[in-house]
Amino acid sequence: MTTEAQKYINDMASKRGYVLDYHKVLAQHDFPVMQAANHVVAAAYLDQRTLDRTTKELLFILSLTVMRAPKAHIQSHIKVALELGLSATEILEAIEIALPEAGIVAFQGGVEAWSEVVGAEGLEPDITED
């Protein structure tokens, strides 16, 4: 990997709070495409415009849930949202918006990603014989 590509990926991690596996691979094997893809993401997501970063994180978490993105990708944004000060409940509410529009399978994926990050546990049935 070139020094320039390594510096770039380090800067991405610092600004975003994460890097994904495809970022690492493209930085190593097709750095110009990595830069081009990152410029689009920066313009739509990272650069401060009208929406604040916490709102963008909630929208990202919701859209990734609806798109059934890999769990690790959803979790990376959940972690950033928590670091930005959003509560676990606020994040769950964003994921719950996926239910009526994307269905139960997409929703379940989002809840699973969320519960693993925040350490949420469910209630187990307590069925006792009378």
Domains of the chain: 1-47 (no CATH), 50-121 (1.20.1290.10)
Residuewise pLDDT in 10s, the chain (130 residues): 579 999 999 998 998 888 888 999 999 999 999 999 989 988 888 888 999 999 999 999 999 999 999 999 999 999 999 999 999 999 999 999 999 999 999 999 999 999 999 999 999 998 887 6
Read off the tokens for 115: 């519960």
Question: Amino acid letter at 83?
Answer: E
Please answer whether residues 9 and 19 qualify as being in contact, where contact means their C-beta atoms are separated by less than 8 angstroms.
Answer: yes
- The secondary structure of residue 97, as a DSSP letter, is T
